[in-house]
Amino acid sequence: MVAVAILAAGRGTRMKSDLPKVLHQLGSCTLVERVLKSCVSIQPSRIIVIVGYRGDLVQKSLQNNSNDNIPTVEFVEQKEQLGTGHAIQQLLPYLQEFSEDLLVLNGDVPLLRPETLKQLFDTHKENQNSATILTANLPNPKGYGRIFCDANNFVTQIVEDRDCTTAQKQNHRVNAGVYCFSWPALGKILPELKADNDQQEYYLTDVVPLLNPVMAVDVNDYQEIVGINNRKHLATAYDILQIRVKDDWMAAGVTLINPDSITIEDTVSLERDVIIEPQTHLRGQTTIGTGSRIGPGSLIENSQIGTNTSVLYSVISDSVVADNTRIGPYAHLRGNSQVGSHCRIGNFVELKKAKVGDRSNAAHLSYLGDATLGEKVNIGAGTITANYDGVKKHHTKIGDRSKTGSNSVLVAPVTLGEDVTVAAGSVVTKDVEDDSLVIARSRQTVRKSWRLKSSEDNE
């Protein structure tokens, strides 16, 4: 059994933010949520998050989390942030009875793969180490603690970047901030830490010379250990994550055209033979069915798109679109809208909480809000459901095979039956029964041989 401790008490001064560093968003989740998720698969018996700076916020964000993949966590407060070693010292009263291993993760190292943690843990167990430290050879090691090992991979020392001599800085092997400790061994020496360094902090890394044996394990992909200390690191981590997600989808049979211009959150799910065109962004709990083509220029958030559907230059949020439907160009679907199969929702059409039956069309310049449309309905250009009376929203219902003429206004609450035709320019305020034509506009009058008198005629 292993317990996990996540260091999340630091302020993250270099972020220059009012938010604690670990609550900064990296794609679909915060940094600390990502760290939590990475350790779930090793099935820890306990997960303890050490909080300090704005600890209330960190605690709240993890407690309010609706994500089922994140296990329940315990919180331990580090009142003053006197360093990573001081943070782990706070565990002493909480882990008095604990005699197993402790995995320590930095809350600002969010890209670890679960396999990497497993490899670290397995090496720790096999060699019966007191401590096992994840390391990497970085092309640019600036800012990281440097790891010094003997010929057999046993760690002799970790020196923080700012405490390194020029010669020590030449070492590119760095501390990832991910450690596996035998807790009884660590607990015993934790009180001995001293703060005699440039920052006058208690460094967790200073336990190395006090433990034996301490081994280093190199990570396969050094990009996993990127630590976030400033906004530039955050952007770098985002790019790494995006490349990972996109490479995985391409390997799974999805075509991405100009992948650099596309973003896909790791919560999105795509089927084979989906084609994503440039400048398209897929977020949240979004799924896209096989054969669908999304983009160019679309944003889809928390929405389900069926198979063989196309979405062109459009925005869809919190909505469902079935199969063989064409959305866009320039459509906006939101607020739990549902569009059936073989539909067309086209140029400058906005749907809000609208349900559209199969084979229905709204191809141009419409607002359909709080509306239910049957099957094979045709919405003429410029049709508007006037759903808001200034106080409340009201519903519009349009039966199967009904057609609205151009520029008609349906003043809700109102129900059109089946096979209704609405004449162009009508303002419909009362219900219309099946098989009817409704004309609700003033009749055209023409005065023959009539001309506006010009000012010259008056002189």
108 binds Ca ion (CB under 5 A): yes
Cβ atoms of 356 and 340 within 8 Å: the answer is: yes
Q: At its nearest, how many Å lie between Ca ion and the CB of residue 106?
A: 6
135 binds ligand UD1 (CB under 6 A): no
9 binds ligand UD1 (CB under 6 A): yes
Per CB under 5 A, the list member of 107, 227, 357, 380 interacting with Ca ion is 227
Q: At its nearest, how many Å lie between ligand UD1 and the CB of residue 247?
A: 24
Q: Is the peptide bond before 278 cis (omega within 30 degrees of 0)?
A: no
Backbone phi, then psi, for 242, in 5-degree steps? Answer: -60, -45
Task: Give the residue from 95, 158, 155, 96 showing the smallest Cα distance to 130.
Answer: 155
Q: At its nearest, how many Å lie between Ca ion and the CB of residue 204?
A: 12
Residue with tokens 């301490």: 214
CA dist list (Å): 147 to 263, 385, 387, 423? 35, 67, 66, 79
Please give the size of the binding site for ligand UD1, defined by CB under 6 A.
32
Per CB under 6 A, the list member of 39, 204, 321, 412 interacting with ligand UD1 is 204
201 binds Ca ion (CB under 5 A): no
For 403, counting Cβ atoms within 10 Å of its Cβ (0-12 exposed, 13-18 middle, 19+ buried), the class is buried
Q: At its nearest, how many Å lie between ligand UD1 and the CB of residue 14?
A: 8
174 binds ligand UD1 (CB under 6 A): yes
86 binds ligand UD1 (CB under 6 A): yes
Q: Give the start-end residues of each E strand in 29-162.
A: 29-30, 46-51, 74-77, 101-106, 131-137, 146-149, 155-159
Q: What mask of x and - would describe binding to ligand UD1 in positions 33 to 72, judged by CB under 6 A? A: -----------------x-x--------------------
Cβ atoms of 380 and 426 within 8 Å: the answer is: no
Q: At its nearest, how many Å lie between Ca ion and the CB of residue 108?
A: 5
Alpha helices, DSSP H, located in 139-221: 166-169, 183-189
User: Which of 223-231, 234-242, 373-381, 442-450 is the region at the interface with Ca ion (rule: CB under 5 A)?
Assistant: 223-231
Backbone phi, then psi, for 380, in 5-degree steps? Answer: -70, 160
Query: 66 by DSSP, 3-state: which?
Result: coil
Which of 206/358 has CB closer to ligand UD1?
206
Query: 237 by DSSP, 3-state: which?
Result: helix
The Cα–Cα gap between 247 and 262 comes to: 12
Residue with tokens 């317990």: 3
* Binding partner of residue 9 among ligand UD1, Ca ion, none, CB cut-off 5 to 8 Å per kind: ligand UD1
Which of 61/229 has CB closer to Ca ion?
229
7 binds ligand UD1 (CB under 6 A): yes
In the annotation, is 394 catalytic? no
Q: At its nearest, how many Å lie between ligand UD1 and the CB of residue 21?
A: 6
What does the binding site for Ca ion look like in residue numbers (CB under 5 A)? Answer: 108, 227, 229
What does the binding site for ligand UD1 look like in residue numbers (CB under 6 A)? Answer: 7-10, 21-22, 50, 52, 78, 81-84, 86-87, 106-109, 144-145, 158, 160, 174-177, 203-205, 227, 229
Task: Please identify every residue annotated as catalytic.
Answer: 364
